[in-house]
Amino acid sequence: MKILVIEDDQRVAELIQRGLEEQGFIVTLAYDGLSGKKLAFNNDYDLVITDIILPKLDGLDLCKEIRRTKPELPIIMLTALGTTDDKVEGFDAGADDYLTKPFEMRELLVRIKALLKRSSNTIYNIGFILKYSDLEMNLQTKDVKRNNLDISLTPKEFKLLEYMLQNTERVLSRTEIAEKVWDTNFDTGTNFIDVYINYLRKKIDKNFDKKLIHTKSGMGFILKTDEN
């Protein structure tokens, strides 16, 4: 997991870096808002930690700019300003969480892990990318990956998975799938949908411990993580 820390106090930044690296995170430091913005825009990070009061570009404006281009990227704000109004302003700028200085490293780690877990289970659509947990679909190139491993799908399998990714954590009936994916009325005497679900399972779930495609007996199918 890669984390970008934007903090103008070098001592604080290095303390955070050391604490996170001890937990196995890969940490990049920036000491002003403009440098942080450039790094955030040009690299892929799993989470950003930023102070509010920064030289060159303050954390609130930085957060707003990141949100416009990377709406899915979790952001934690660190600040000495701890009033309710300050927190509301931070959340309004797009922050996911807010931690007031001074803080304990343990508390920061708890907040980070909670955000990363929530982020990994969130479906988001960024242009032509659909992502849920460790499953990712590129609608433009038609590439599908799970845990960065390529998965080859037929056109119908792709269309079925696309619809499931657009409707995660919701039970989809056979009738709905037939109408939305196949543009046809469901014939209860056939099991073609079950057949395609099984095709997907073999490709999406078979070689992974965490199963994503589940059957709800008598109701249909749902794309969700085991723990949900």
- The CATH number that applies at residue 41 is 3.40.50.2300
Nearest alpha-carbon partner for 112 in 1, 227, 223:
1
Is residue 228 in some structural domain? no
Q: Structural domain tally of the chain?
A: 2
Q: Please state, rounded to an integer, the average pLDDT across all residues of the chain.
A: 84
- Whether 194 maps to a domain, the answer reads yes
Residue 220 confidence (pLDDT) above 90: yes
State whether 10 and 97 are in the same domain: yes
Q: Do 116 and 138 fall within a single domain?
A: no
- pTM for this model (two decimals): 0.53
Q: Are residues 6 and 114 in the same domain?
A: yes
The domain boundary residue, chosen from 120, 150, 178: 120
How is the beta sheet containing 124-126 ordered, strand by strand? 124-126, 129-132, 135-138, 144-146, 149-151
Higher pLDDT, 223 or 156: 223
Percent with pLDDT over 90 in the chain: 33
Domain extent at residue 165: 125-223
Instruction: Please give the average per-residue pLDDT across 118-147, as a whole number.
Output: 77
180 and 74 fall within a common domain: no
In terms of domains, do 109 and 132 share one? Answer: no
pLDDT tens digits, one per residue of 45-83 = 889 999 988 999 988 889 888 888 887 788 898 887 766
